[in-house]
Amino acid sequence: MSMGIAVVLFGLYFLNVSLGAFGTAAFLGDVSEMLLLAISALFFVVAILKREAAAKDPTNQSKS
């Protein structure tokens, strides 16, 4: 779930930057763009830490 949220938020960030780079009106300002990227990075870190904790769990018997 956290990884999905991070991907969607980063996709919005990337879309905004791309629109701004190609001359079309970007829909986010500087501060909201920075907050979007920071929240996306936060959700990414949470997802990675959850995945790492699941991999280190000795009671986890799944083979993923």
Please give the Cα distance from 14 to 19 (Å, whole number): 9
Q: Is the pLDDT of residue 63 over 60?
A: no
What gap in Å lies between CA 49 and CA 42, rounded to an integer? 11
Q: What is the mean pLDDT of residues 6-31?
A: 91
pLDDT at 2 over 80: yes
CB 15 within 8 A of CB 5: no
Whole-prediction pTM value?
0.79
